[in-house]
Amino acid sequence: MKHERFTVDSDVRPEFTACYLRIAGDECAFVEAHTSHATPRLLAALAEHGKRPEDVRWIIVTHAHLDHAAGASALVEACPNATLVAHPRAARHLIDPSKLVASATEVYGAERFAALYGTIRPIPKERVKTLADGETIALGDATLRALHTAGHANHHFVVDD
């Protein structure tokens, strides 16, 4: 089975932040979702590599900070077969982002918040999977393992591929 990994420049400022597209055969995963402004770039990366939004099995966010996960709801909406994968402590903020949105809006103001992060909507609970420390998911014939790495955030993990 063919395995590929691609870095996708996800920010309106070139080469500032990245998401990753992982392809294993017919299945794809995104690692990080950035903001909703990045969704068109992520979907374009799929098309560039001969894949469709329907081919995305997983959308993995390493933690719920908005520069990594604010675009998760837009990406889940665009990829009808995808499940969002998150740390157990991060998942609740993606299922119900109201506290994150309120807090960041208070800091930045509504106009700046929208410019930075776009629209953040709740993700249906049935489309969210949490991973315990060391737990794995399959992507084609690849195995991706979550390793909880509290430090940057208490709800952070890395993905060992």
pLDDT tens-digit profile of 122-151? 999 999 999 999 999 999 999 999 999 987
pTM of the model: 0.94
pLDDT tens-digit profile of 7-24? 999 876 677 789 999 999
Distance, C-alpha 143 to centroid of its chain: 18
Strand partners, 146: 159
Q: What is the pLDDT of residue 13?
A: 66
Q: What is the pLDDT of residue 12?
A: 64
Q: What is the pLDDT of residue 94?
A: 96
Angle at 19 between CA 17 and CA 21, to 5 degrees: 155
Angle at 134 between CA 130 and CA 140, to 5 degrees: 75
Q: What is the pLDDT of residue 151?
A: 79
Distance, C-alpha 80 to centroid of its chain: 14
Strand partners, 145: 136, 160
pLDDT tens-digit profile of 66-118? 988 999 999 999 999 999 999 999 999 999 999 999 999 999 999 999 999 99
Strands, sheet with 3-9, edge to edge from the N-terminal-most edge strand:
3-9, 18-24, 27-31, 56-60, 83-86, 128-130
